[in-house]
Amino acid sequence: MGGEPALKAFKGEQEFTAAILTVTQEKSPKVVFTKGHGERAVQGRSRDGLERVVEALKQDNCTVEEWDSLVDQKVPAKTDLVVVAGPRTGFTFPETDALKAYLAEGGRALLLLDPEFAPGSGNRMVDLGLGPVLDAFGVRLGDDIVVDPKNALPLMGPETVVARSFRSHTVTRLLEGLPVVFPVIRSVGLVDKLPAGVTATVLIETSADGWGETNLADLETKVEKDDRDLAGPVPLAVAAETGAGTGSAMKARLVVVGDADFASTGGIANAANLYLLTSSVNWLLDRESLVSIPPKSTDQVAVVLSRGDIARITLFVLLILPACAIGLGIVVWLKRRR
């Protein structure tokens, strides 16, 4: 805006990490995004798309592909991570079975599941067809919209949740002391008794004053906490893993977040949203030690010189240094003549 350029952060460590990954890893992890259900676009420049996410993955030495699971109902070979980002229609049984089979063999998946309303229903959310996948890990997906008036943004509606409460986990290591902004999010929790062999934890939750609003028909006119709503703290994201899969030494891992807006091009730059995304990916890919390094904040340093200082520097640079170089050249020449 006409002002002087200002250095806001140092990202050298991120660049060094990407370079180290390129030369030390035997292969680039293959990240596959599902498509065919209205998911967020991974190509093109759209505020709702995932262009920034794809850039971050490539910077971390990942290759990115798309998987049309309706056409090819089998997870592509050598896939290291499947990402389901904001589907608006349900997965079919063959697609769900393909995901279950992939995870049973030690696969990894990141599910970003927006609260999507069925067309014309008014108060009913779309059945995404992922129940069997979530059930295998003991994950409960809520049919609600989470609100947290205690952690709201000025001039934004109550459905915008600013999450500040994180459980201890590799994924949340970089989030302590920083908020994550979810424009619209549904609850994602765990069942009371996890399936055998599954370990899981809630990653993020609202304050005790938050709740999961279940009266979806009157969201535009009335949002009040009552006995039918999910009481806070409301879980917003979970991480789960199982033991080694059949015929595989790999543990299956799953991260589920009740929102995809936070990872969109328009939302990823907010607060610690990018840290949540990249940390989830790195944990899923068994790169705990390579959880993205946040940019270091830098202090602006200004050097103020008087006219006398400038004159002395000019004299030193234009006269003294050249004179020293000439004198050294004469000395060398004289020695060679002897």
- What are the CA-CA distances from residue 193 to residues 64, 109, 196, 198, 319 (Å)? 36, 22, 9, 10, 81
* Rounded to 5°, angle at Cα 281 from 280 and 282: 95
What would the pLDDT profile of 214-261 be if each residue is shown by its tens digit? 888 776 666 788 888 999 899 999 999 997 655 556 799 999 999 999
What would the pLDDT profile of 49-73 be if each residue is shown by its tens digit? 999 999 999 988 999 999 999 999 8
CATH superfamily of 9-297: Class I glutamine amidotransferase (GATase) domain (3.40.50.880)
**Regarding predicted confidence, which is higher, 85 or 319?**
85
Strands 211-213, 145-147: pairing kind:
antiparallel
Strands 251-257, 108-112: pairing kind:
parallel
pTM score of the predicted model: 0.80
In percent, the amount of the chain with pLDDT more than 90 equals 60
Tell which residue, 195, 199, 229, has the closest CA to residue 213: 229
